[in-house]
A and B are shown apart, each in its own frame.
Chain A
Amino acid sequence: MVTLNAITKRYGKTVVLDNISCELDSSTYGLLGPNGAGKTTLFRIVTDLISSNGGTVMMDGKKQKLQIGYLPQKFGAFRTLTAREQLFYFAKLKQQKNDGIDWEEEVDRALELTHLTEKRDVKCGKLSGGMVRRLGIAQAILGKPDLILLDEPTVGLDIEERIRLKEVLEKLRGQQPIVISSHIAEDIEATCQKVLVINKGCLIFSGATEELSGLAANHVWKMPEQAYRQQPGLNQIGYIEENGNRLVKVLCIKENESPHENAVALAPRLEDGYVYLLERERV
């Protein structure tokens, strides 16, 4: 169990992270938040890349140095090394005396988990963006770290690569806490069991994905596009195609308040819960 205890970060008078506290068990967590909410800053503090103004990171209730597997938002590889050489280099840096790990085997395991075994001897410069991203995950999982932090792992990837990434994350599930940062709720819904939502530096939600979706129950409606256009001020959160008709998905902050006589309540998804939460905070 990894515990973040009152993590605070300030730049001058601006509070970037305000008393972030949470406990992470061996689940996959989605860290959601709008751009600039403080997700990357939190990761950088946990990995000790930047110092915090307060707070601690603990492992099983003790303050100790964590082995962290970290995929930064922008991950690049040494272009002249092959995928295997690149991982071997990271393995060498992670290696500790008498750690009892067969690193050759560990590198091969990481390559296999990330579906890169076939590309092991290909130079990183020739790998696609998605493959480099998977290589980034491979370096993060090397050596079975105590905590895995993946900062926007799906950003800039096509649909096929995103599916592959989800498969990889599925395989890693349950071994150690994994935190995946994203501002795309759909990605989090597909891969995570639990969610943390950060907004303006504050942790505003921590719980199961279903709980976050459940927040928007009786707040999400679908209604005909024409009716929507006649009622300005409604909060549109998407479109739905139904029998060739285009319906508008709207969010109402007040519970059970139907926006229109033809509006029908919808079962909320994670994205709806997330938008509802942010809207509620804004109001």
Chain B
Amino acid sequence: MKRAFRLIIYPRKQILARQGVCVVIVYAVLMPYLMRLLSLNDAMMIAREAFKYSQLLLAFLTVWSVFHFFLPVYQPRVREALQALHHPVVTCILELTAIQQILCIPVYVWFYVNLPLYRMIIWILIFQSFWLSLACACLLYLFRSPTGIAAVGLIYICIAIPFAESTIPLLLRPGRLLDGFQMNYWMTQGGLLIAMIVFLACYNHVYRRRHFF
């Protein structure tokens, strides 16, 4: 048992520490910051709802983290070489991952149907749309080709968002949304905020020049 545990923990030792720090940063710093960007009422509403369901969420995140713990062994490029060894621990982890993937779909459905936190996703989408339009404007300024940039922007908004960002395909691709909910999604939002700041700097610069558009 001890040996099996060591085999699981071994490739995770540094990742675990790093992930822990990231999660703390995201939850302690980024989320309140994001909430400040919303109106006070919205922030209060989300905070209230989050608090109301926090115990449930915490339990859910704990279960998820336990599963998440096993995932790195399955990084696609490492997986095949490990799998070929036919070691019982590796085989066991494989089976667990398969079970996790199957379990995830109903859990997602339940999560997003029952928890009011889904509203946050709407806010995220609003942020993203806003950022995308601003990013398009930046590109327009940089490359001076309105048609091309508008086409790229439209293609992205019309195709990528509905297919890649809406909750429906996320339900069909376990691992993505909850991953994001834990950390990556909020990190992405952080990136979007930085992009917005860059845009605003650009906008100011252009506005002074008075030949934007």
Scoring B residues 70 to 92 as 1 if CB is less than 8 Å from chain A, else 0, what string do you get? 00100111101111111101100
Bound form: Cα–Cα A47–B72 in Å: 22
Whether A74 pairs with B84 at a CB distance below 8 angstroms is no
Known contacts: A80-B11, A80-B15. The answer to whether A71 contacts B72 by CB under 8 A is: no
> Within the complex, which residue of A47, A76, A85, A89 is in contact with B75, where a contact is CB–CB below 8 Å?
A76
CB closest residue in chain B, given A149: B84
Residues of chain A with a CB closer than 8 A to B7's CB: 89, 92-93
Does B10 have its Cβ within 8 Å of any Cβ on chain A?
A: yes
Whether B84 pairs with A76 at a CB distance below 8 angstroms is no
Whether B75 pairs with A48 at a CB distance below 8 angstroms is no
> Within the complex, which residue of B84, B86, B89, B90 is in contact with A72, where a contact is CB–CB below 8 Å?
B84
Does B14 have its Cβ within 8 Å of any Cβ on chain A?
A: yes
Whether A78 pairs with B72 at a CB distance below 8 angstroms is yes
Q: Which of A49, A85, A93, A94 has the most CB of B within 10 A?
A: A93
Query: Which residues of chain A from 67 to 98 have any CB-CB distance to chain B below 8 Å in the complex?
Result: 68, 70-72, 74-78, 80-81, 85, 89-90, 92-94
Does A181 have its Cβ within 8 Å of any Cβ on chain B?
A: no
Distance in angstroms from A60 CB to nearest chain B CB is 20
> Within the complex, which residue of A70, A71, A77, A92 is in contact with B78, where a contact is CB–CB below 8 Å?
A77
Distance in angstroms from B174 CB to nearest chain A CB is 22
Whether B86 pairs with A81 at a CB distance below 8 angstroms is no
Chain B residues engaging chain A, CB cutoff 8 angstroms: 3, 6-7, 10-11, 13-15, 72, 75-78, 80-87, 89-90
The 9 A-B residue pairs with the shortest CB-CB distance, nearest first, are A76-B77, A72-B80, A80-B14, A70-B84, A78-B11, A47-B84, A93-B87, A93-B85, A74-B77
